């Protein structure tokens, strides 16, 4: 959600909140990063980068959590079958939990590392295009 707020704010600062709500807000998060990067910097966000791949995976995990689908309650009749399904799925999707200086990694994705990777990729595009909002951020930090 942090990356969604960031890219929305980037677009709103460069265009207007009304423009973003009318034309860009209905896009999916991946599309927002591609389209808004192009509009703001004139350059394409590298969709073949590790940052973009991790962004896609992070979006998938977020959607899985936010849009959780309930299932039928466990009963004596379906308990064993459901337990086998859960074990099979758990083995296939075993979380890789590791702590490091950037936080915890789930399913091989560190949300914090992904945020840094995506923003770093975008910053590279920004540096080339010299977009207004990043320069303002640097001025504010120096003040």
Contact between residue 37 and residue 45 where contact means Cβ atoms under 8 Å apart:
yes
| 140, part of any domain | no
Q: Which residues contact 139 (CB under 8 A, 6 or more apart)?
A: none
H or E, element range at 19: helix 17-19
Binned average pLDDT, 10 residues per bin, the chain of 143 residues = 89 93 94 94 92 88 77 70 72 49 52 77 69 53 61
| 114, part of any domain | yes
Strands 103-104 and 99-100: antiparallel
| 27, part of any domain | yes
| Gap between the Cα atoms of 119 and 116, Å rounded | 5
| 35, part of any domain | yes
What is the reported pLDDT for 23?
Answer: 94
| 55, part of any domain | yes
What is the reported pLDDT for 101?
Answer: 41
| 31, part of any domain | yes
Q: How many domains does the chain have?
A: 1
Domain, as residue range, for 108: 2-67+77-134
| 82, part of any domain | yes
| 143, part of any domain | no
Contact between residue 60 and residue 52 where contact means Cβ atoms under 8 Å apart:
no
């Amino acid at each position: 959600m942090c990356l969604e707020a960031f890219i929305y704010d980037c677009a709103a600062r460069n265009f207007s909140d009304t423009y973003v709500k009318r034309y860009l807000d209905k896009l999916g998060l991946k599309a927002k990063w591609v389209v808004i990067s192009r509009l703001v910097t004139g350059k394409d966000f590298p969709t073949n980068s590790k940052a973009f791949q991790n962004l896609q995976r992070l979006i998938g995990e977020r959607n899985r959590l936010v849009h959780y689908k309930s299932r039928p309650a466990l009963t004596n009749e379906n308990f064993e079958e459901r337990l086998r399904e859960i074990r099979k799925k758990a083995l296939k999707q075993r979380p890789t939990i590791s702590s490091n200086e950037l936080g915890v990694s789930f399913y091989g994705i560190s949300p914090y590392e992904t945020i840094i990777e995506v923003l770093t990729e975008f910053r590279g595009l920004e540096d080339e295009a010299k977009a207004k909002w990043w320069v303002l951020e640097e001025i504010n930090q120096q003040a």
